[in-house]
Structure 1
């Protein structure tokens, strides 16, 4: 099914589908609803995110290894899409005081989202040849920004003007927004989830226990053999720093904005700005990666993140926050799409899901570093601005380490191992 326009379009639309979960539930509506309507706390929300991330990190390498052995990534993607979408629908039901229930449902939803993305990313190798991956990967992220942004914009209207839709208050609007995420995710995933992957007779007849045994065996091989691919290994280490920096900017942006006096409304508006600028910017970024080289563009994106962090140190008001949100939109999706396409080219044939699972595990395992640095600097300096400035270290390290990666050599290593 490689390089077929219909297949590529179906793959791209999945990003449109599941990004609704990232924007409405993970970033904008649910964090506020969790505190204001359910009665949770910032700490409780943080523990919920940590628990979900830990489970996804532990599951992803094993699930990836099993999916590679069975050559059945789409079946796993179907399962986790259903889990995530159903969890989104169920979030409409917890009420005041149902903090534990809400946390558990969010964790289940994030498992569906995070584990599903492991198989979605791995499918990039199956649907495209190496020369097209920058553009296709960027198209996916670009459509994700648009899809997630459109639904979030609609949900903001429902929440702020509930009477227009026959609802009593904004709480009802938030509940409707959670239902919309589940339905949106399911409906727009259908084109990709209807595809079928070819399996050998041995793979088809293998029992679940056998799949798990083989998956664990392949996982052990991954840990022991990954350093046999020096360029892949160097890129992964650079990616850990880059991912940690980007993740910290994403998860700390709202709390940082609040700490310097920006209200909730402008914070959500800033997220919408990032989404809608990210749509065309990510697509353009992918084309530039083809023209100038993916590594060069990835380094450029980290340089812009450095600028963003420095400007954030001096930020004073909502207008400044909007400007920074626009700058983030220019590079956030494009840099992640380019990193995904680079990584896909460095993987040995037949182990894409396994190695994507390994990357998910390691990047999430190390992702505590950025928020931890932010928190420690905040405590010792009593300054959120200085804490934000400290995150520049992660982008500097990512740029330096990336300069040592020889992508052409890494692609040859992957081909020789296949």
Structure 2
């Protein structure tokens, strides 16, 4: 096949790999960040929602806990599957499966019509999250197989840039449908929102085929024996032992964990903060989210160049300091401030500048810290598990503090502690051949 003729470092291979960000980022933007959280708040806001026999007075806390559960499932499942993928050489099959699974789950959100069908929205959100984040494990694991170490910062940044551009395009399409439903013969904005969830699933699985056609099937030429489930588990144990032999790699995972508690929780809960805590209009939220995406393109490129000049660790430390400013800025906002929407726009612009940067830099930094190995999926599963457990902690802390204090401001402020701890850990790490 043509995909097998493309060698590591080939621009066509790198571009094909990065294009999966174009495909999957519509989930991150439309479902995780923009339209679905606003739709969820609109459907359940001010109502007591019943789920699993429990009456939930704070539906946003229910959603936060549901996301925590999905990340816990991914954290438990992905290391074993990654070990199997490395042992059997089947990363591409796993990537394809979870991409399809996640996109179908997203499309099933169409059936979440009102507060009585909240259970559909919750379960579909859980399954979509599992599909998305599990696919990302195997997608990230391809980075050291498609790009040389010196190319990995720019390749990782390219993926996120593709993702931001693609997701903004679909978001704009969705917004036109939602704001002008009658123009397209749709019955209401709510129906248009549900239709946008279907578009996300089709976009995701459709454009993913371009990536799947080019990626190598079995780069390590693995020839699995029988009982490969047990062998996959052994692969996981072996990699865990190896990680402990590399202090910088191990330390970076700790810093990444602390960083992810803050970053991913803010991404997931930002829309709820704006609509519920600040009582901003949906249009204000959409403008802010679009601003974040556009600025994130510039930020990803800027910090990629900065890391080339000054090193990954220094660039990451700068992003962490800015994230801390975002936390303090959000804590100082409340709905009583005149023109609070404008302050929220400014905060969104600042957040966007470091959003793509921190995601791109952490992925490429981890990739460059890896030892010479063919167990890329297993190594990246530890990266993924670290992130998912961090999200579980972050969303649980966020949801708990919101329920106890009846305010999201203290939830946001608590995240600054994790950013500070991450900064302190990064300061202890030693330079390596490719990372400084």
Q: With the length of structure 1 as denominator, give the TM-score of the two structures.
A: 0.91
More helix by share: 1
User: CA 1:409 to 1:401, structure 2 compared with 1: closer, same or farther past 3 Å?
Assistant: farther
> How big is the shift at 1:392?
1.7
> How big is the shift at 1:378?
5.6
User: CA 1:201 to 1:402, structure 2 compared with 1: closer, same or farther past 3 Å?
Assistant: closer
CA contact (8 A) 2:156 2:363 kept: yes
Which of 19, 26, 34 in structure 1 is aligned with 2:25?
A: 19
CA contact (8 A) 1:138 1:283 kept: yes
CA contact (8 A) 1:64 1:354 kept: yes
The answer for the alignment partner of 2:134 in structure 1 is 115
Q: What is the correspondence of 1:252-331 to structure 2 with a 5 Å cutoff?
A: 252-257=269-274, 258-315=276-333, 316=337, 317-331=340-354
Q: Residues of 1 paired with 2:100 and 2:173: CA distance?
A: 23
> How big is the shift at 1:197?
2.3
The answer for the alignment partner of 2:99 in structure 1 is 81
> How big is the shift at 1:407?
3.4
SS of 2:34's equivalent in the other structure is helix
CA contact (8 A) 1:89 1:179 kept: yes
Q: 1:19-49 CA deviation, whole Å, 9 max, x = no partner? A: 0011111222223334544785324322321
Q: Residues of 2 paired with 1:108 and 1:378: CA distance?
A: 25
Which of 391, 414, 421 in structure 2 is aligned with 1:367?
A: 391
The answer for the alignment partner of 1:2 in structure 2 is 8
Q: With the length of structure 2 as denominator, give the TM-score of the two structures.
A: 0.87
The answer for the alignment partner of 2:370 in structure 1 is 347
Q: Which runs of 5+ in 2 are unaligned?
A: 1-6, 50-58
Is 2:256 the partner of 1:239? yes
Which of 331, 337, 349 in structure 1 is aligned with 2:360?
A: 337
Q: 1:37-69 CA deviation, whole Å, 9 max, x = no partner? A: 478532432232122111111111111111111
Q: Residues of 2 paired with 1:205 and 1:361: CA distance?
A: 25
> How big is the shift at 1:248?
2.5
Q: 1:134-156 CA deviation, whole Å, 9 max, x = no partner? A: 11101111111111122112212
The answer for the alignment partner of 1:124 in structure 2 is 143
Q: What is the correspondence of 1:172-191 to structure 2 with a 5 Å cutoff?
A: 172-191=191-210
SS of 1:228's equivalent in the other structure is coil
CA contact (8 A) 2:61 2:403 kept: no
CA contact (8 A) 1:230 1:410 kept: no
SS of 1:254's equivalent in the other structure is helix
CA contact (8 A) 1:72 1:197 kept: no
User: CA 1:334 to 1:77, structure 2 compared with 1: closer, same or farther past 3 Å?
Assistant: same
Q: Residues of 2 paired with 1:378 and 1:273: CA distance?
A: 26
CA contact (8 A) 1:308 1:324 kept: yes
Q: Residues of 1 paired with 2:148 and 2:265: CA distance?
A: 32
Q: Residues of 1 paired with 2:43 and 2:402: CA distance?
A: 29
